Structure 1
C-alpha cells in the first residue's frame, strides 16, 4: 500500500510539472518529455483526473504515458494545434468511458505510437483512434496485439490505410498473438506475405509461428529496415538480417534452439546487450551427442542474460565456455535449481570461466547462500 501511495504521489508530481510547463510557457511549440523516463522518473498519468491544462500553440509533443487512456486525454481537444505526436505507452487498458471525445483530429499530420504491452482491444482502441486522424501524412505503429485472429496486410489496408487518404509514409512493427487457435485457422507465411501486395514501396518482412502445445500462434510483420531497439519473441523461424539498432532481444519457442541458432542471433544483433529466453525443449544436437567441434559464440556487448523458463541445455549453452565466450560484467537472472544442476553444485570446471564474469547474480527460488556458491561467483553481487 505504501508503494502505491508513493507511485501515485510521484505520478501527481509529473502531472503537475507537465501542466505547469504548458500553462506557464504560453508560446511553447515543441515539448519532449521522454527525458523524464530516461531519468527514471514516473510516466505521465492522469489517473482518471480531469486535466486542467490547455495549449493553443504546441504543435509537436514527445511523451511517455502510463496507459492508453492518458494518450486519449492528451488528444481530447486540450492541445488544439497538435500536429506531430510521438507517444510511448507503458500499459494498455480498455478505453475509459470517461473519455467520450470521438471527434476527428484534422490537424494531426504525424503520429507515432509505441506500446510493448499486449493490446486486447485493437479495433476499439488503435483502429478507432487512427480513423479520427483524417489528414494524417506519416504514421509509425509499433504494437503487440492479442486476439482470436491474425492481423495481416488486409487488416492494415481495410482498417487504417483506406481511411487515411493523405498517408504517404507508414512504418510499423506489429506482432499479433493468437489465442485458442483452431487447426482450421492456420495460415502460411506465404499467405500473410501476399496480403501486403499493393503497399507501394513499403518492403514488409513477415513470420508466422504456431505453438501446438499452447494452442496459440503469432504473426509478426514489420516494414524494412528495422529501426527499433528491441526484438521480441524470436523463434527458429526468425528471418536473418542485420539489426544494428537492436539492443534487447527475447527468444521463445516450443522447438529446440540449437547451437547454430545462437550463432545466427549473434550475427544478426551485433550490439545485443539484453537477452532473455523461454524454451523448455531439450536440444536435439546435445541429445544426439553431436555438439563436438562447434564454434565458440561471442556476444561482445552482452550485459544481461535472463533465463525465465528454460531447459538446462540453454543455461549450458551460455555458461560452458566451449560454447559461448561471455564478456565481463554480466548480470545473470536464473533459477537456483537449474544453476546448481548445470554447474554440478558449483564445482564444474567447464562453466567456471564464464561464471567468473558475472558481476550480478539474481537467483530465483528459495536457497541459502553457501560458501561454495560465493566462491564460484567471486565477482558477483548475489541477489535473492
Structure 2
C-alpha cells in the first residue's frame, strides 16, 4: 500500500481517538466540531473531550466567540467541569444551560470577583447557588495583603459558604502560599464560615487558633482537611473545643515558618483516632533535641492507629551546643527504619558554627517548598519543589548549582542566603574565567533572591555563560552588587538574563541612568 495516500479519516475510530486524546480538548473541539463532517462531529462530542473544559490562557476573542456561539450549546449536556479566568467567565457560563455542571475552578481570583458575581443580583446566581458542589479558587489577590484578614474572611471566605448552597468541596490556594490572604476567625461569631454539608476543605489560615476554630463543630461533616498555617506560635487564652473528630479521615497541616510550639501538633492529632491519611510539613525551633523517628512514633503515630499513609517533612532548627548527643545521619536513618519508615531520609545542614538544621522526610518528596538546603543533600530528584531556599555556612560551588538544576526540574522561586564567596574546584579560576564553567539551565525559574548573598551568586545567575534563565521576571538584589556584576549596566554577558526582568526588589535606591533602563527594558 502506498502510505502517502493514507488520509487521517482512513484510520479507524479507535486509533483516531488515541491520537486526539493526546491533544488539548479545546483544540479538538475547535478544529473538529461543526465542520460538516458527521464522523468527526460524533468523535469530537465524546465525553473525553467535553467533560472538562479548560479555557485558561485563552485570550483570542474569535476563539471564545466560536465556542460560545456554536460549540458550547451543542455539548452543554456533557460538561461537568469548567476551568476559567474571570475575563470570560460570565460569557462562557451564560452561553448555554449546563445541567450537569458541578465543578468550577477560577484562576486569578480577587475579592472584586466575589463582590460582582457571588451575589443575589448576579446573572450567574442560579449556576453558583444550585449547581456547583466543588469550587477551586486560585487567588491572586494582591490588594488583600494590605487589608484586614477579618474583613477578607467576612467578605470572601465566609460569604462563599453562605452563597454556594450545595458546596461540598472548597479549595482556596495561591500560586505562592505566602501571597495568599489567610482566613482569620478570632473575635468573629461561631456561625462565621459554617456549613452543614462541606466535606472537603483546603485553605490558608492566619494562625493555629484559626485551625482549631475550623474544627470546633462548625464543619461537622468534614472528612478531608488541608490547611496551611502562617503561624503556630500564637499565645491565646481561648479554650477550644477538644471533642473527638470521628469523621476526619484525611488531614494535612503545613507551616513554612519556624515555630516553637510543636506540642500543639500531637495535642490536635489525639482528636483524630480514625485518621487514615496524614501529611505534615513542619519547621521547629527552640528544642534541645531533634525530631527523629523515635519522636515521630511517640508524638504522632501513636495517636493515629488507623493510619494508612504518612507523608512528612519535619525539620528541627537547633543549637548543637544544647544537644545531649552527637548528630549522625546513620543514627537518624535507623530511627526512621525502626518505625517502619524505610522510604524516608534525612538531611543535616550546618547553617552556622553552632546552628544546625536537621530535617527528616518521606520519599518521594511530595511538597512544593524546601527550605534551608545546604551543600550536602541526597542524590534524589525533587519533582514537585517550586520554591527553594539554600543556605550554608560554607560557600557554594558552581557544581552545587549544577546539582540544583538537575535535582529541582520545576524550580520557580530560588532564594540564596550565603555571604561566603563561591568556591571553585579549581582555585586558579575566578569569575572572569566564565568560559571554564559549564552553563546551567533553569527553564522555569521566575524569581531569584540574592539580596543577602555574596555578589558572586548574582554573577552565577546573570552571566549567560554560566546560567540560562529564560523566565526570570523578578530579581531581589543589592543595587551595589547589581552595578558591579553588570559593570554599570554595560556588560554584554549579563544583558540577556536581565532582559525579561519585570520587577526589581532592591535593598538600596535604583539607578536612574539611561543605561539602567536600556538594560532592563521589561521593567
Range into which the TM-score falls when normalised by the shorter chain: 0.7 to 0.9
In structure 2, the gaps of 5 or more residues are 1-142
Contact in 2 for aligned 1:255/1:281 (Cα 8 Å):
yes
Q: Which residue is equivalent to 1:331? A: 474
Closer, same or farther: CA 180–286 of 1 in aligned 2, 3 Å? closer
Contact in 2 for aligned 1:62/1:86 (Cα 8 Å):
yes
Q: Which residue is equivalent to 1:277? A: 416
2: CA distance, partners of 1:120 / 1:209:
19
Classify the secondary structure of the residue corresponding to 1:122: coil
219-228 or 290-299, larger mean C-alpha shift: 290-299
Which residue of 133, 140, 143 corresponds with 2:272? 133
2: CA distance, partners of 1:144 / 1:93:
12
Q: Which residue is equivalent to 2:284? A: 145
Which residue of 275, 295, 300 corresponds with 2:443? 300
1: CA distance, partners of 2:521 / 2:147:
34
Which residue of 340, 343, 359 corresponds with 1:220? 359
Closer, same or farther: CA 368–378 of 1 in aligned 2, 3 Å? closer
Deviation at 1:179, TM superposition (A): 3.9
Closer, same or farther: CA 358–279 of 1 in aligned 2, 3 Å? same
Q: Which residue is equivalent to 2:170? A: 31
Closer, same or farther: CA 18–295 of 1 in aligned 2, 3 Å? closer
**C-alpha root-mean-square deviation of aligned residues, in Å?**
2.8
1: CA distance, partners of 2:320 / 2:339:
30
223-232 or 322-331, larger mean C-alpha shift: 322-331
Contact in 1 for aligned 2:398/2:423 (Cα 8 Å):
no
1:329-356 Cα deviation digits (max 9, x unpaired): 5321101111122223333343333333
Q: Which residue is equivalent to 1:62? A: 202
Q: Which residue is equivalent to 1:71? A: 211
Deviation at 1:279, TM superposition (A): 0.4
Q: Which residue is equivalent to 1:322? A: 465
Deviation at 1:201, TM superposition (A): 5.9
Q: How does 1:174-189 map to 2 (within 5 A)?
A: 174-179=314-319, 181-182=321-322, 185-189=325-329
Classify the secondary structure of the residue corresponding to 1:208: strand
1:152-193 Cα deviation digits (max 9, x unpaired): 111110011112111121111112211474475541111111
Q: Which residue is equivalent to 1:114? A: 254
Q: How does 1:187-206 map to 2 (within 5 A)?
A: 187-200=327-340, 203-206=343-346
Closer, same or farther: CA 17–361 of 1 in aligned 2, 3 Å? closer
Deviation at 1:21, TM superposition (A): 4.7
> Quick check: 1:232 aligned with 2:375?
no
2: CA distance, partners of 1:168 / 1:37:
29
Q: How does 1:352-371 map to 2 (within 5 A)?
A: 352-371=495-514
> Quick check: 1:350 aligned with 2:490?
no
Q: TM-score, normalised by structure 2?
A: 0.66
Closer, same or farther: CA 294–165 of 1 in aligned 2, 3 Å? same
Classify the secondary structure of the residue corresponding to 2:404: helix
1: CA distance, partners of 2:394 / 2:417:
11
Contact in 2 for aligned 1:326/1:357 (Cα 8 Å):
no
Q: TM-score, normalised by structure 1?
A: 0.87
More strand by share: 1
The alignment covers a number of residue pairs equal to 374
For the pair shown, which has the larger CA radius of gyration, 1 or 2? 2
Closer, same or farther: CA 295–66 of 1 in aligned 2, 3 Å? same
Classify the secondary structure of the residue corresponding to 1:69: helix
1:111-131 Cα deviation digits (max 9, x unpaired): 1111112221001x1111112
2: CA distance, partners of 1:176 / 1:110:
25
2: CA distance, partners of 1:24 / 1:272:
37
2: CA distance, partners of 1:204 / 1:187:
17
More helix by share: 2
Contact in 1 for aligned 2:499/2:521 (Cα 8 Å):
yes
Classify the secondary structure of the residue corresponding to 1:170: strand
